A and B are shown apart, each in its own frame.
Chain A
Amino acid sequence: MKIGKINYSELSTAQQLSVKYFTVAMVLFLAQLVFGLIAAWQFLAPDFLFGVLDFNVNRMVHINAMVVWMLYGFIGAIFWLVEDESGVPLVGVWIANATFYVLTVAVTIVVLVYLFVQSGPGDAWTLWLINEGREYIEAPRWADIGIVICMVAFFYNVAGTFVAGRWSGISGVLVLDLVALAGLYLAGMFYTTNLPMDQYWWWWVIHLWVEATWEVLVGCIMAWGLIKTLGARRRIVTTWLYVEVALMFGSGILGLGHHYFWIGTPEYWLGIGGFFSALEPVPLVAMVVHAVYDAGRHHFRSSNHPALAWLIAHAFGNFIGAGVFGFMQTLPQINLYTHGTQWSSSHGHLAFFGAYTTIIVAFIYLTIQRLRGDVWMSSDIQGGWRWKWSLALLHVGMVGMSMALLIAGYEQSFVERAMGGSTWQAYFEGQTQPWFIQAMWWRMVFGVIMTAGLVLLLVDFVKIGAGDTRPIQAVAASDAVEDAAQPAGAVAKAAGGG
């Protein structure tokens, strides 16, 4: 390991895979923002690329790139921690490598078809080959099947490694959660004429991913991350993880009902969905308390400042974006007017960014530290302005954008929904209000700020730690010693420098 240099060849295969997955993830993240900007611009200048790259194509690429890059991010993070957590080298290296290339080629083909073929005749062939026309899971059926096969392979790698090595609380939750996550995808893989039936299962994928299984997945990653960056005690972290699982699944599974208010499903979902989804912020509060308490307990002395900053951003972002902004529209009495307005878009942006972008970025900082030979990443990082500014720009951009969309959403709910009765004309009356148009301009401005932040972040990923010769700062030795008798012993390892 040469401190400050790229040590790619000295990483284990699993860690190299993480680097690959993260790299593709960041390319897709950039693509996501580019297509988001085009779509946002089309709100202001509808003739832009009209008939060439229409809004629906840009938006589809925008949200699909997001879903895929986040899944890549999760896979990358899991490959990174699996060996450390299990204590043995990755099982099935050959399969893991092949999976990466197969998946990446498939994703590339899907995106190219989206962009150049775009749509097809109204028959089953289009759904098999071009796109399925269902928001977020538009990928054609052939790709669905490919994704499932890749997920099975990935699961084999992860579960197999834990079986070969040792289990811990974190890995137990992680593996069970992966089963649920992959299984849920199957619910989105069939076609039916019956629209309510279609949307009923569609939400199983979307909601039970982002508000249940993904949340628990990042809970696991967060738990491991806190141990690594702060040297937090494993027993406490694991107990918190169980608390979070109980609260998250306890509210999130039936919280699914907040999508069953208006799609033809029975009336009891109004009560069940309203009640349980209103409880969903509770686990998110628990997560904030946990992260902030741990950070404070360790006097914010960490071995990796950017990662810790992004972990804390995750805790707050998750709580505000998902918890607060989700709660605002989750009771049916309010949702009747906000459902399917810019209000949803505001929440969707802040939640995905706050909950998932943040933690993946945090994790990438952890991997880069290792890639750079366990270089120093505490206070006084060389060129430390970069990570701070990119963090600030991304957050200013995202918060500004969500606020603009929220204002647009308020306006739309009043003018189009409450006053206008949701007709075609009322819709356009809402869209032409000065407040709405201003909000669309502000969204554009903040979108550009955000994109600048992302570019700077990517530059920082390449540059941080380069040429620095100070080794990683050891963390919280006292706690680690106290926990050294722990079965997994990862804490002691962390203190010793990973």
Chain B
Amino acid sequence: MSESGIRTEWWASENFWRKCAIFVTGFMALVLVLLTFHTLTVIEAGSEAGRVPAYAVINHRIGYVMDDDKRRMVPVIGPVAPLFGEELTEAEAMALVDHGKLTVQARNCMNCHTILGNGAYYAPDLTKAWLDPGWGNEDARELLMTMFLKDPPTNARTYGTGRRMPNQELTDDEVRAVIAYLKWMSAIDTNGFPSGFKPLPQGSLTPPAAAAPQSRAGASRALGTSPPLAQPRRPSTKSPPPLTSAAATGLSMRGAS
């Protein structure tokens, strides 16, 4: 194009690099789109790949253990251990987790905490909050989490930083939903993040032999075990689990049992 005297080699020419730019951009975008289609099927909740569990996983005990083949930590879905003693169908569990996630977004938790490691660094990561040894043990956990979320400043454990979580004025329903969301979150296979995490003491992660028919769901790792989760043990004829405030009021009592 230019009239300047010195000839430009083809590989240094504007034209060549324009074509390069177009080709490279198009190609990379195409690869990204293809990978996206694949990834989206894999991370469907409860998909065969088992990386992101079905929501009814909150009916089960969840562990986080070292996988000797992969040499990294993986979540484990244990025997039935319903949240707040209430077994839910997949649809009910999804509604509960959904309410929890909405609450976490509405209260802007992510601008103090990290969630799956993303967010702010003023407060601890929530990825494995459900499994945190700070809750003492399995039996105390639901009660302690409920108490903490209902009144964080009073129940704060700040280890000398003085950094307290402000009261989010969560309703009983919201507290329950947030805990369900955290429990579900802890069962996501995050490729071993956080590494070296030591969960709180819990009962066995392998189901008792007696429960043989359902045991497949509980025994194996999160990978590929989701279908059985969709069928809870509780007969579906039973009235929907109490998401109402009346039921939620008794929540901490039941949680402690």
How far is B49's CA from A264's CA once the two chains are assembled, in angstroms? 11
Nearest to B116 among chain A residues (CB) is: A263
With A336-B192, A421-B198 in contact, do A194 and B45 touch (Cβ < 8 Å)?
A: yes
B255 at the interface (CB under 8 A from A): no
Q: How far is the CA of A247 from the CA of B188 in the complex (A)?
A: 35
Kindly supply a per-residue 1/0 record for chain A positions 340-360, scoring 1 wherever the CB is within 8 Å of any chain B CB and 0 otherwise: 111011000000000000000
Whether A263 contacts B167 by the Cβ 8 Å rule is no
| Prevailing SS type, chain A contact patch | helix
Contact A200-B25, Cβ < 8 Å, known A264-B190, A422-B196, A485-B2: no
- Whether the pair B4, A482 counts as a contact (CB closer than 8 A) is yes
Q: Which of B104-125 contact A (CB under 8 A)?
A: 104-112, 114-125
Cβ-defined partner of B188 (8 Å) among A135, A196, A270, A422: A196
Given contacts A56-B109, A194-B52, contact A266 B39 (CB under 8 A): yes
Question: Does B118 lie within 8 Å of A263, measured CB to CB?
Answer: yes
Which one, B158, B162, B194, contacts A417 given CB within 8 A?
Answer: B194
- A contact residues around B197 at 8 Å (CB): 421-423
Shortest beta-carbon distance from B6 to chain A in Å: 11
B193 is contacted by which of A39, A118, A339 (Cβ under 8 Å)?
A339
Contact, CB under 8 Å: B49 / A421 = no
Q: Closest residue of chain A to B106, judged by CB?
A: A126
Contact B106 A123 (CB under 8 A): yes
Contact of A246 among B21, B36, B174, B178 (CB under 8 A): B21
* Alpha-carbon distance A269/B190, docked complex (angstroms): 12
Contacts of B149 in A (CB 8 A): none
Within 8 Å by CB of A424, from B20, B119, B157, B190, lies B157
**Which residues on the A side are within 8 Å of B160 (C-beta)?**
428, 432
Judge whether B209 is part of the interface by a CB distance below 8 angstroms. no
B2-35 interface code vs A (CB 8 A; 1 in, 0 out) = 1110000000111001101100110011011001
Q: A138-B111, A339-B117, A417-B194 are in contact. List 11 more A-B contacts (CB 8 A).
A: A56-B120, A122-B102, A200-B36, A253-B32, A254-B28, A264-B188, A267-B191, A270-B191, A339-B193, A340-B117, A423-B132
Residues in chain A within 8 A of chain B (CB atoms): 39, 42-43, 46-47, 50-51, 54-57, 59-60, 118-124, 126-127, 130-135, 138, 169, 173, 191, 193-200, 202, 235, 238-239, 242-243, 245-246, 249-250, 253-254, 256, 259-270, 272, 332, 336-337, 339-342, 344-345, 412, 417-418, 420-425, 427-429, 431-432, 482-483, 485-487
| 25 interchain pairs, CB-CB under 8 A | A46-B161, A47-B162, A51-B166, A56-B109, A57-B111, A119-B168, A122-B104, A122-B105, A123-B106, A131-B105, A193-B98, A195-B185, A239-B13, A242-B20, A254-B32, A256-B32, A262-B191, A264-B116, A265-B51, A266-B51, A340-B125, A421-B196, A422-B196, A423-B133, A424-B132
